[in-house]
Structure 1
Amino acid sequence: MKWIVRPSKLNGTLEVPPSKSHTIRALLISALANGTSTIRKPLLTGDGGSAVKAARALGAYVESKDSQLTVDGIAGDFNGGDELFDMGNSGTGTTLFASAAALGHKLRRFDGDNSLRSRPIKPLLESLANLGASYTIESENQELPFTIQGPLKGGKTVVDGISSQFVSSLLLACPLIKNNTHLTVSNIHEQPYIEITLWWLRKLGIEFEHSQNLTSFIITGGQQYEPVDITVPADFSSATFAAVAGVVTNGELKLTGLDFSDPQGDKDVFKVLTEMGADVRIEQQVAVSNSRELKGMFVDLNSMPDALPALSVAACKASGETLLGNVEQARIKETDRIAVMCSELSKMGASVREHPDGLVIQHSTLKGAHVSGHDDHRVVMALALAGMNAEGETVIDSAEAAAVTYPTFVEDFKALGADIQILES
Structure 2
Amino acid sequence: MTNAHEDHWIAPVATAPLDAGVRVPGSKSITNRAYVLAALAGAPTRVRVPLDSRDTRLMLGALTTLGGRSEATTDGFLVHPLSGSRAEPATVALGNAGTVARFTPALATLGQAPVLFDGDEAIRRRPIGPLLTALRRLGARIDDDGRGAPPFTVQGDAGLRGGKVDLDSSASSQFLSALLLAGPSFDQGVTVRLVGDAPPSEPHIAMTLDMLRRFGATVAREGMEFHVAPTKLSCPEYVVEPDLSTAAPFLAAAVATGGTVRVKGWPKHTTQPGDWLRTLLPALGASVEPDDAGLTVTGGSSIPGVELDLHEVGELTPVVAALLCFADGPSVITGVAHLRGHETDRITALATELSALGAEVTETDDGLRITPATLHGGVFHTYQDHRLVMAAAVLGLRVDGVRVENPATVGKTFPEFVETWTSMLG
**TM-score scaled to structure 2, two decimals?**
0.92
Select the residue among 356, 366, 385 that pairs with 1:357. 366
2:248 to 240, 255, 263: 240
Q: Measured at CA, do residues 82 and 18 of structure 1 come closer, stay the same or move farther in structure 2, by a change above 3 Å?
A: farther
Q: Does the aligned pair in 2 maintain the 1:103–1:173 contact within 8 Å?
A: no
Q: Show CA shifts across 1:161-209 (max 9, x none).
A: 2201000000011111111422111222211101110011111221132
Structure 1 range deviating more: 153-162 or 47-56: 153-162
CA separation in 2, counterparts of 1:139 and 1:175? 28
Identify which of 102, 121, 127 aligns with 2:128: 121
2:179 and 2:190 in contact (8 A); partners too: no
Contact 1:352 1:359 in 2 (8 A): yes
**What whole-Å deviation, never above 9, does each CA across 1:58-88 have from its counterpart, x for those lacking one?**
211211243410112126x264576211022
TM-superposition CA deviations, 1:104-140 (whole Å, max 9, x none): 4431111111222221111100010100012122585
Q: Is 1:144 the counterpart of 2:150 in the alignment?
A: yes
The match for 1:36 is 44
The answer to whether 1:52 aligns with 2:60 is yes
Alignment-mate amino acid for residue 266 of structure 1: G
Distance 2:373 2:414 in 1: 28
- Where do 1:209-224 residues align within 5 Å? 209-211=220-222, 213=223, 215-221=224-230, 223-224=231-232
Instruction: Output the CA distance in 2 between the equivalents of 1:228 and 1:170.
Output: 23
- Identity of paired residues, percent? 31
- Asked whether the equivalents of residues 116 and 154 of structure 2 are also in contact (C-alpha less than 8 Å), the reply is yes
Q: Provide the C-alpha distance between the structure 1 equivalents of 2:257 and 2:152, rounded to a whole number of angstroms.
A: 45
Q: Distance in 2 between matches of 1:81 and 1:249?
A: 56
Give the letter for the 1:146 counterpart: F
Look up the SS of the partner of 1:303 in the other structure.
Answer: helix
- Could you tell me which of 262, 269, 293 is aligned with 2:270? 262
Alignment of 1:218-367 (within 5 A): 218-221=227-230, 223-284=231-292, 285-367=294-376
Quote the offset at 1:103 in angstroms: 3.3
SS in 2 for 1:281: strand
Query: Partners in 2 of 1:21 and 1:245 — Cα distance?
Result: 23
1:206 alignment partner in structure 2: 217
Q: Is the 8 A contact 1:136 1:146 kept in 2?
A: yes
Measured after TM superposition, the shift of residue 277 of structure 1 is 1.1
* Residues in 2 aligned to 1:362 and 1:279: alpha-carbon distance in whole angstroms: 24
Q: Gaps spanning 5+ residues in structure 2: where?
A: 1-6
CA distance in structure 1 between the partners assigned to 2:247 and 2:88 by the alignment: 36
- The DSSP-based 3-state class of the residue aligned with 2:209 is helix
1:299-326 deviation per Cα after TM superposition (whole angstroms, max 9, x unaligned)? 1111111000000011111122211111
1:157 aligns with 2:165: yes
Structure 2 matches for 1:14-29, cutoff 5 A?
14-29=22-37
Equivalent pairs, count:
412
Q: In the TM superposition, what is the alpha-carbon distance from 1:251 to its structure 2 partner? A: 2.3
- Rounded to whole Å, the distance in 1 between the matches of 2:346 and 2:236 is 35
Mapping 1:58-73, distance limit 5 Å:
58-73=66-81
- Tell me which residue corresponds to 2:117: 110
**Residue identity opposite 1:230 in structure 2:** Y
1:5 matched residue in structure 2: 11
Shift of 1:270: 2.5
Cα separation, 1, equivalents of 2:239 and 2:189? 31
Q: Which of 377, 383, 396 pairs up with 1:368?
A: 377
Q: 1:346, 1:320 → 2: CA distance?
A: 16
> Aligned to 2:104, what secondary structure does the other structure show?
helix
| CA-CA distance at 1:152 after TM superposition | 1.9
Q: Aligned-pair RMSD on alpha carbons?
A: 1.7
2: CA distance, partners of 1:154 / 1:334: 30
Aligned-partner Cα distance in 2 for 1:236–1:413: 15
Tell me if structure 1 keeps the 8 A contact 2:264–2:295. Answer: yes
TM-superposed CA distance for 1:154, in Å, is 1.6
Contact persistence 1:59–1:82 (CA under 8 A): no
Structure 1: which 4+ aligned runs deviate by more than 6 Å? none
Once the two structures are TM-superposed, the CA of residue 226 in structure 1 deviates from its matched residue by 1.4
The residue that corresponds to 1:423 in the other structure is: none
For 1:422, the equivalent position in structure 2 comes to none
Query: Which has the larger displacement, 146-155 or 185-194?
Result: 146-155
**Contact 2:140–2:154 at 8 Å: present in 1 too?**
yes
Q: Which of the residues 94, 97, 100 maps onto 1:90?
A: 97
- 3-state SS of the aligned residue for 1:237? coil
Q: Which residue of 2 aligns with 1:101?
A: 108
Distance 1:230 1:204 in 2: 9
| Contact kept? 1:294, 1:319, Cα under 8 Å | yes
| Contact residue 251 and residue 289 of structure 1 kept, 8 A | yes
- Equivalent residue number for residue 415 of structure 2: 407
